[in-house]
């Protein structure tokens, strides 16, 4: 990449949002450059392509009636972006200067990019329990997304961990599909909003284990078979049989790079102007899970990626680029 060239569009991050933004920007002859991301010291498991790279079967993405694996879906997104001559670097951006245009970005290998616009699609990282067996049975029983994976557990018993709105939503959603939901919470009261609490508490297919925490996820070669749950008051532990465990203790948006630069919501997600992907800095756009704490789906991320590319193109036209 020429140090003298000023890019029209640079995309930080990949996944459905970043790659869709690249596809749309490339077809608009904006010659986008993508820094797809990768592992960091703080997040050694982070890989280019986002959370779908650690998802096995995806059955709810339109156009794939037979289903598709997460990594294969992301490979197709990437190839489609590259088909239109998108330049992709499999590394992270580590420094940004949005104080003046063209913006200045620097990657971990020292690549410096000057760009008229920037699209941020760095995603969010699910919070996990960090207990024994959790990594072993991820995607073989352990999940952080009921709407993504709930259909795999029809007429089976599952566990949900958490006490906020997300946990209540996951449990209520799962109760429509599975045999029974056991919700495990560290306290004896819920943090969720009143309406969400009542919905879960009044559901006959949802039971509660109060003052409790998962100590270990257990299973066999086929997958998860249960979890060891400890009562935090008595110290007693018991094995709870279940085929699925849904961790619903929140997500952390990957916004460390933009702290103090871009406006965020209370949860750390980037603020965008309603109805658009524009941030508080002119020429900087955000799409996907980095600005979406509510839906967090591949299809919605792809939709906002499309929006970001169109927003960037129109912004460049408005500014005579």
148 is catalytic: yes
Annotated catalytic residue, options 57, 97, 135, 145: 145
157 is catalytic: no
311 is catalytic: no
Two tokens at 221?
């070669």
Question: SS3 letters for the chain?
Answer: CCCCCEEEEEEECCHHHHHHHHHHHHHCCCCCEEECCCCCCCCCCCCCCHHHHHCCEECCCCCCCCCEEHHHHHHHHHHHHHHCCCEEECCCEEEEECCCCCEEEEECCCCEEEEEEEEECCCEEECCCCCECCCCCECCCEECCHHHHHHHHCCCEEEEECCCHHHHHHHHHHHCCCCEEEEECCCCCCCCCHHHHHHHHCCCCEEEECCEEEEEEEEECCEEEEEEEEECCCCCEEEEECCEEEECCCEEECCHHHCCCCCECCCCCECCCCCCCECCCCCEEECHHHCCCCCCCHHHHHHHHHHHHHHHHHHHHHCCC
Annotated catalytic residue, options 148, 287, 289, 311: 148
Annotated catalytic residue, options 4, 135, 149, 188: 149
- The rounded distance, in Å, linking the Cα atoms of 182 and 208 is 6
Active-site positions read: 145, 148-149
């Amino acid at each position: 990449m020429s140090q003298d060239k000023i890019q029209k569009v640079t995309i930080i991050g990949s996944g459905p949002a970043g790659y869709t933004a690249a596809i749309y920007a490339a077809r608009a002859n904006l010659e986008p450059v993508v820094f797809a991301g990768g592992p960091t010291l703080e997040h050694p498991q982070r890989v280019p392509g986002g959370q779908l790279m650690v998802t096995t079967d995806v059955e709810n993405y339109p156009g794939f009636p037979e289903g598709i694996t997460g990594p294969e879906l992301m490979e197709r997104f990437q190839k489609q972006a590259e088909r239109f001559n998108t330049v992709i670097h499999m590394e992270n951006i580590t420094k940004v200067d949005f104080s003046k245009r063209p913006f200045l970005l620097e990657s971990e290998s020292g690549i410096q990019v000057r760009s008229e616009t920037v699209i941020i699609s760095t995603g969010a990282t699910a919070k996990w329990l960090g207990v024994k067996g959790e990594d072993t049975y991820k995607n073989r029983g352990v999940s952080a997304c009921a709407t993504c994976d709930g259909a795999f557990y029809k007429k089976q018993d599952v566990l949900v961990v958490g006490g906020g709105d997300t946990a209540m939503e996951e449990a209520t959603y799962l109760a429509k599909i599975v045999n029974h939901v056991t919700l495990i919470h560290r306290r004896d009261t819920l943090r969720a909003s009143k309406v969400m609490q009542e919905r879960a508490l009044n559901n006959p297919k949802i039971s509660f284990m109060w003052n409790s925490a998962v100590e270990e996820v257990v299973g066999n070669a086929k997958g998860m078979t249960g979890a060891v749950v400890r009562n935090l008051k008595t110290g007693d532990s018991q094995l709870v049989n279940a085929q699925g465990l849904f961790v619903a203790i929140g997500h952390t948006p990957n916004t460390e790079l933009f702290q103090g630069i871009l406006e965020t919501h209370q949860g750390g997600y980037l603020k965008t102007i309603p109805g658009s992907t524009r941030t508080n800095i002119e020429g900087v756009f955000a799409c996907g899970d980095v600005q979406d704490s509510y839906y967090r789906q591949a299809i919605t991320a792809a939709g906002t990626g499309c929006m970001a590319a169109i927003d960037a193109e129109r912004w460049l036209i408005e500014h005579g680029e």
